[in-house]
Amino acid sequence: MSTAEETTGGEVEPWEQVTPDAARRLLVAAVEAFAERGYHATTTRDIAGRAGMSPAALYIHYKTKEELLHRISRIGHDKALDILRTAARREGTARERLADAVSSFVRWHAGRRTTARVVQYELDALGPESRAEIVALRRQVDAEVRGIIEDGVAAGEFDVPDVKGTTLAVLSLCIDVARWFDVNGPRTPEQVGELYAGLVLRMVGAR
């Protein structure tokens, strides 16, 4: 199984929504190629070769290389938003919800680091229309975390003079895990998630 399909915990990446099988294989191959070489250095021939298909076969399922990137980015951002939205809307204090949001978000970026690197760091390669769609999703991601922090401030749980700036710092901290996490390193995704949750609670002055 490829790095774009499996996490460090053996959980399969949810590409099942991509059909038929050939389209899914091409998408997984694109994730790996983009993560390894970067979007601009990757050719459609590279992607098709990784999928065990001819370059002409790619165009049956995707009109352009950018369409592949857009599909990957959309699926990844939908998943990221779902993770944060689930944590934000659970029962519990703002402290509990923020810890859950951060630990879950970090686990995803560590466990699915190959996918996450492409999703988070290749945004500028998208065309204006596709980029605007993904930016709108990023705003929703930001809003979920900001909402938890605002709840904590209102309840007297957090001491945050600059909610907007702190939200950006929290998200940046979590997303960067995809850049450096090593499956052979000393910590599991779960351990990194727990560590970062504690760091963020101290960042917001949680009581």
84-142 pLDDT, tens digit per residue, is: 999 999 999 999 999 999 999 999 999 999 999 999 999 999 999 999 999 999 999 99
CB of 6 closer than 8 Å to CB of 113: no
Contacts of 128 (CB under 8 A, 6+ apart): none
Task: Tell me what pLDDT residue 1 has.
Answer: 45
pTM for this structure? 0.89
Read off the tokens for 176.
């960067």
Residues forming a β-bridge with 6 = 12
CA gap 161, 152 in Å, rounded: 12
Q: What is the pLDDT of residues 134-173, one digit of tens each?
A: 999 999 999 999 999 999 999 999 999 999 999 999 999 9
Q: DSSP H helical segments within 112-188, as ranges?
A: 113-121, 128-154, 163-175, 177-180
